[in-house]
Amino acid sequence: MKTTICEGVYRVGAIDWFLRDFHGYDVKRGVTYNSYLVRGSAKTALIDAVKAPFVGDLLANLAAHGVTPADLDYVVVNHAELDHAGGLEALVPMCTKAEIVCDAKCKNVLSVYFDTSAWNFRIVKEGESLSLGDKTLAFVETPMAHWPESMATYLPEDQVLFSMDAFGQHYPTYELFDEDVPLTDLMHELKHYYANILQALGKTTAAAVKKALPLSLRYICPSHGVVWHKHIGEAIAAYQKWSAGVADRKVVVCFDTMWRSTELMAKAVAAGAAEVEGTDVRLISFRSTPISDIMTEVLEAGAIALGTPTQNNWYMPTVGAFLTAMLGLRTTDKLTFAFGSSGWAHGGADKALEALRAAGLTSITENPVRCLWKPTPEILEQCREAGRNLAKALQEKAS
């Protein structure tokens, strides 16, 4: 595994190739828990740890650089979430001389998770720094990117920003840098991560990015995925776009179906939207696509058409899960309408539309497009027209 970022700075964390459920959202490739070793002329620091079951990997990777936990002078904890801090419980007792460097909020959280009574904390604040001899660690508070205690660490001599969750991607690889993996895949994983982890925290993430911009940056070392090097500009531009809520002329048509009637309606809606030149249309079935992938598609979409049959006078449970994700991730500034089939009661699409409005989306129709049992050619034409109108409304909003 490649580990050398620059002289004295090494990636020593772990790869979790087989994880597919990252605290509730799907990851297709697995995950990395990045930990970084920084060796100065006088002192040695570890930047963040790994998830608890991966401490052995971290120790082996440190040993490959001739370092034991007892050699560490500092263990910097940028973030208390357990995918990084979980390993501290086993690691810290082995670090016989190290100070545990974090902000006061982080210490409080760590002290809830672990018995830290024997930990030798050094509490740092925004603007403070530690000297490792010929290298310096400067601390930058980045609250709510991802948790209240989140912090980044900057190494000015080598122009390295240890950015924690910001700019992370779930992209396990034995490669080290962004230029060593396909950029399209990497940018997709950056988007997937942002859409599902940081989207709800757009304002505080934007504030964290703003703090990073004045820094000279040769490397951004996130706590997940590869190191940004050649493509730092693309990663920052993407974060600026997403955190500002800038939408594309993209329509996402997502639906569930029982006996394919709502599916036929969804296809007609999508076909209608696609008739408007320049519209990017995605047709997504809740049955075949994980919510985390749908939220990734929704991130840059300016409009969502939501289809559901009626089940027990309500929308389908998959639609409820989608609406929950939308609410939690605050995906609200979008145009919308609802549609769906029903038998003897048409509550599903109506309740879906109510929920979309309650979430703050703007419906282009007063009522859902409904059909009884099976869509007639007339109903399918209504669906096409609604799809066209949604794409046109988005076009007008964008102009």
- In this complex, which beta carbon is closest to ligand FEO, that of residue 92 or of residue 145? 145
Segment 186-189 long-range contacts (CB within 8 Å, at least 24 positions apart): 186/225, 186/226, 186/231, 187/234, 187/238, 188/296, 189/29, 189/225
Element (H, E) at 219: strand 219-222
- In this complex, which beta carbon is closest to ligand FEO, that of residue 167 or of residue 219? 167
Cα distances (angstroms) measured from residue 50 to each of 33, 114, 192, 285, 383: 5, 15, 21, 36, 50
The DSSP 8-state label assigned to residue 198 in this structure reads I
The question of whether 65 is a catalytic residue gets the answer no
Give phi and psi for 188, each to the nearest 5: -65, -45
- In this complex, which beta carbon is closest to ligand FEO, that of residue 203 or of residue 260? 203
Taking Cα atoms as reference points, which of 134, 197, 196 lies closest to residue 164?
197
- In this complex, which beta carbon is closest to ligand FEO, that of residue 79 or of residue 346? 79
Q: Which residues pair with 119 in a beta bridge?
A: none
Q: Of the listed 84, 146, 192, 346, which one is catalytic?
A: 146
Taking Cα atoms as reference points, which of 211, 218, 231, 181 lies closest to residue 9?
218
Burial bucket for residue 8 (CB in 10 Å: 0-12, 13-18, 19+): buried
- In this complex, which beta carbon is closest to ligand FEO, that of residue 119 or of residue 167? 167
- In this complex, which beta carbon is closest to ligand FEO, that of residue 83 or of residue 158? 83
The question of whether 192 is a catalytic residue gets the answer no
Q: How far is the CB of 345 from ligand FEO (least distance, A)?
A: 43
Q: How far is the CB of 107 from ligand FEO (least distance, A)?
A: 17
Q: Are 78 and 164 in contact (CB under 8 A)?
A: yes
* Amino acid making up residue 1: M
Q: Are 149 and 106 in contact (CB under 8 A)?
A: yes
Q: How far is the CB of 223 from ligand FEO (least distance, A)?
A: 5
Task: Name the token pair of 104.
Answer: 């006061």
Q: Of the listed 16, 48, 71, 83, which one is catalytic?
A: 83
Task: Name the token pair of 106.
Answer: 């982080």
Q: Of the listed 165, 178, 189, 350, which one is catalytic?
A: 165
- In this complex, which beta carbon is closest to ligand FEO, that of residue 83 or of residue 99? 83
Q: How far is the CB of 77 from ligand FEO (least distance, A)?
A: 12
Q: How far is the CB of 199 from ligand FEO (least distance, A)?
A: 13
The question of whether 84 is a catalytic residue gets the answer no
CB atoms within 10 A of CB 191: 18
Q: How far is the CB of 145 from ligand FEO (least distance, A)?
A: 9
Q: Give dist(CA 55, CA 257) in Å, integer.
A: 45
Residues found near ligand FEO in the complex (CB under 6 A): 79, 81, 83-84, 146, 165, 223-224
Residues 6+ apart with CB under 8 A from 157: 134, 135, 136
Residues 6+ apart with CB under 8 A from 275: 384, 387, 388, 391
The question of whether 350 is a catalytic residue gets the answer no
Q: Of the listed 84, 170, 192, 224, which one is catalytic?
A: 224
Taking Cα atoms as reference points, which of 278, 350, 358 lies closest to residue 310?
350
The question of whether 23 is a catalytic residue gets the answer yes
Q: How far is the CB of 22 from ligand FEO (least distance, A)?
A: 9
Task: Name the token pair of 286.
Answer: 């809740």
CB atoms within 10 A of CB 312: 10
SS3 of residue 314 by DSSP: strand
Q: How far is the CB of 316 from ligand FEO (least distance, A)?
A: 31
- In this complex, which beta carbon is closest to ligand FEO, that of residue 43 or of residue 79? 79
- Residues with a known catalytic role: 23, 79, 81, 83, 146, 165, 193, 224
